[in-house]
Amino acid sequence: MAHDNENEHVLRQIDENLKRVYQQNLEEDLPDRFKQLLDQLKKQEPGKEV
């Protein structure tokens, strides 16, 4: 059905845009504070085994 195809196309279009937005956010530089925080957490639990 032409209408179904069209509808499917629109939905695919939306998901493609969602992926672009997500991808853009993925590629942004991470703030240094996250790595600093991880380093800090590591220091607080020296040698802790899982």
Partner 1 sequence: MSTDPREELVEHLPSLRAFAMSLCRNSAQADDLVQDTIVKAWTNMDKFKVGTNLRAWLFTILRNTFYSARRRSGREVADVDGVFSANLATKPDHDGRLAMKDFEKAFATLPDEQREALLLVGASGFSYEEAADMCGCAVGTIKSRANRGRAKLSELLSIGEDDAMELTDQSTMAVMSAANMKSM
Only one residue has tokens 């600093």, namely 36
Tokens of 41: 């957490």
Q: Provide, rounded to whole angstroms, the least separation between the CB of residue 29 and partner 1.
A: 9
Amino acid at 24: Q
Taking the least distance from each CB to partner 1, the nearer of 1 and 16 is: 16
Alpha-carbon span 16 to 8, nearest angstrom = 12
Residues that bind partner 1 (CB under 8 A): 6-7, 9-28, 30-31, 33-35, 37-38, 41-42, 50
Q: Provide, rounded to whole angstroms, the least separation between the CB of residue 1 and partner 1.
A: 14
